[in-house]
Amino acid sequence: MSAHANAPGVCRFYFNGKLTTVQDADPLAPLVNTIRERCHAKATKVGCSQGNCGACTITISWPEGDPRHTAAPMAVNACLFPTGGLFVDPHGDPATQCASITTVEGAIKNKRMASAARSIAECNGTQCGFCTAGMVMKAAYYEGEVQSGLTNCTVRDVEDLLEGNLCRCTGFRPILYAMKKHFIGEQDPKVAEEMISTPALVTQGDANSYLKCYATGDYSSPNFFVPATE
Ligand code: FES
Ligand code: FES
């Protein structure tokens, strides 16, 4: 790669719906670093930095006309995506050239995603919370697939969805149940037979207060649900 290709550049993209410009961005920096350090959005985590754990999952969609455009936003491991992939002509038309990036802070403002996150919290699908942003973002990706008619949304499909997202705490059963409950519904016999019988760690009110942390960006109150870590 030439020295020119490695030079800092202008990174411009829609970040959680807002057009954002990052000047002098390092093209080789993983996008998750740019999100955390230049966009100051700290809910997306860095676990393995190797594309194995899914803690850094975000979604990206590209404008129509771009060869990367897909019917629904893609789930991306932001630890592997180079920031230089978002370099654009700063004078170009953002509507036709800028990618749209969503992190959990933005996704959670959508009612369906707030519901998915609440399902994870109420089913004891989060403990230390390190994996949870990635889990919610994988759900956000899948929501796009469902709405675009790209999946039949079977129990097996939802189980496959979490391939690539690791949790070191919960044993996965509560997370899988939360996802099935959200996407398929607990009235489905296959989901019902897996119903989690243990009492939820958090109440509805508590789950809502965790969601409020995302909506307001105020992480000052104690919470464990996808904490924003430095
Ligand atoms: S930090 Fe990106 S997949 Fe683990
Ligand atoms: S890694 Fe701790 S809740 Fe998943």
Domain encompassing residue 49: 11-106
List the CATH number of the domain containing 175.
1.10.150.120
Mutational pocket test of ligand 1: of 77, 132, 137, 138, the residue with most ligand atoms within 8 Å of the beta carbon: 77
pLDDT at position 202, please? 47
Domain match, 88 and 134 both: no
159 within some domain: yes
pLDDT at position 127, please? 86
151 within some domain: yes
Domain match, 126 and 198 both: yes
3 within some domain: no
Place of tokens 């969601």: 211
- Please, which pLDDT band fits residue 204 given cuts at 50, 70 and 90? very low
For the CA of 46, the nearest atom of ligand 1: 1
Rounded CA-CA distance 120/174 in Å is 7
Rounded CA-CA distance 143/184 in Å is 12
Domain match, 94 and 158 both: no
227 within some domain: no
Q: Measured in angstroms, how far is the CA atom of residue 51 from the centroid of ligand 1?
A: 4
Beta strand spans in the chain (E): 9-15, 18-25, 57-61, 74-77, 100-102
For the cut 90, the answer to whether the pLDDT of residue 5 exceeds it is no
Domain match, 34 and 68 both: yes
List the CATH number of the domain containing 40.
3.10.20.30
Mutational pocket test of ligand 2: of 127, 135, 173, 175, the residue with most ligand atoms within 8 Å of the beta carbon: 127
pLDDT at position 6, please? 80
Domain boundary among 81, 106, 131: 106
In this prediction the pTM is: 0.86
HSE-up of residue 64 (Cα within 13 Å, Cβ side): 1
101 within some domain: yes
Domain match, 49 and 133 both: no
pLDDT tens for residues 43-79? 999 999 999 999 999 999 999 999 999 999 999 999 9
126 within some domain: yes
For the cut 50, the answer to whether the pLDDT of residue 221 exceeds it is no
Domain match, 15 and 102 both: yes
6 within some domain: no
Winning range, highest mean pLDDT, from 90-94, 127-131, 165-169: 165-169
Domain match, 19 and 94 both: yes
Domain match, 25 and 66 both: yes
229 within some domain: no
Domain boundary among 106, 123, 152: 106
Domain match, 153 and 187 both: yes
pLDDT at position 4, please? 61
Domain match, 172 and 151 both: yes
Domain match, 30 and 129 both: no
Split into its structural domains, the chain has a count of 2
Rounded CA-CA distance 176/165 in Å is 11
User: Quick one: average pLDDT of 170-178?
Assistant: 92
Domain boundary among 88, 106, 124: 106
pLDDT at position 124, please? 86
Identify the DSSP state of 161.
H
- The percent of residues in the chain predicted with pLDDT above 90, rounded, is 69
For the cut 90, the answer to whether the pLDDT of residue 2 exceeds it is no
Ordered strands of the 9-15 beta sheet: 18-25, 9-15, 100-102, 57-61, 74-77
Could you tell me whether strands 57-61 and 18-25 are parallel, antiparallel, or unpaired per DSSP bridges?
unpaired
Q: Measured in angstroms, how far is the CA atom of residue 79 from the centroid of ligand 1?
A: 5
